Amino acid sequence: MDWSDKTAQAKVWFESLRDQICAEFEAIEREAGSDASFQYTPWNREEDGNPDPGGGVMGLMKGKVFEKVGVNVSTVRGTFAKEFAGSINGASADAPGFVATGISLVAHMTNPHVPAVHMNTRFLTTTKAWFGGGADLNPPIPYAEDTADFHAAMQAACDPHNPTYYERYSKWAEEYFYIPHRQVGRGVGGIFADHLECADDTGWAANFEFIKDIGKQFLAVYPMIVRKRMNTPFDAADEAQMFEYRGRYAEFNLVYDRGTIFGLKTGGNIDAILMSLPPRATWS
């Protein structure tokens, strides 16, 4: 099946979601008395012998509330290296071609009481076609109320599509966002789904609606949490706890994160790939 039209539709959604999220984050900066705005940097992918390898746009803002937040969209196409192809659903050394489109967001906050956050959703085609992604909350100083609100939003994204999704994908997030060498989770979880395969138009449409709902629920819950916590007083000890936590976050992203590995293995923009790293961190 030719999935080019479906890829184009997914790309439009990811760009629309990017625009909505960035507008909301800029509105929060205005509420804090800051004029910080996203700066957008287009980039083009290069691949020998490929006349149309695609590219993306990196959006980055450094403000008063958001110390560093990146919201990237990309649409890339080409071939995997043969030694990497076997690790990708539907790809192999004999069929290494792929097309991928998606959005990736990571926010590191100035106030330690405001949780960092990650959200990524994507659509890929190899010999198969599938959606994947999710969102997870990463507070240096956890609040049970914020954790409950975030998980409730992720469950609200899941339940209309399948009553088993939330239990399945929240458990997957717990297992995936785990740092084995530290024996600790990266954050307080969320949901993580992958290989939501699309055998036909009906399957594609159903999975696409689920992926859209993840983005919509993220947009509903995360700005609410930011506004609730962004004026909370903090001290040097709180900052020290945040910087140490950020070190753990960086370790996970550099060693285990699939998105980081995918970007590096497919010739993505290095700055866009590593925008997930915090601006300041410490290791004791």
Residues with a catalytic annotation lie at 118
Pick the closest to residue 211 from 107, 129, 90 (CA basis): 129
Q: Which two tokens stand for residue 75?
A: 């649409």
Question: Could you tell me how many residues make up the chain?
Answer: 284
> 70: which strand partners?
60, 106
Output the CA–CA distances (angstroms, integers) from residue 101 to 120, 185, 191, in the order listed: 11, 28, 20
Give residues with Cβ within 8 angstroms of 39, minimum separation 6: 59, 60, 61
Give residues with Cβ within 8 angstroms of 179, minimum separation 6: 185, 186, 248, 251, 252, 256
Place of tokens 């915090």: 278
CA angle 194, 196, 201 (to 5 degrees): 155
For 191-209, give the DSSP string.
EEEEEEE-SSHHHHHHHHH
284: number of Cβ within 10 Å:
6
105: number of Cβ within 10 Å:
26
SS3 state at 2: coil
- How many Å apart are CA 40 and CA 166, to the nearest integer? 34
Contact 57, 41 (CB under 8 A): yes
- How many Å apart are CA 77 and CA 93, to the nearest integer? 16
Q: What are phi and psi of 16, to 5 degrees?
A: -65, -45
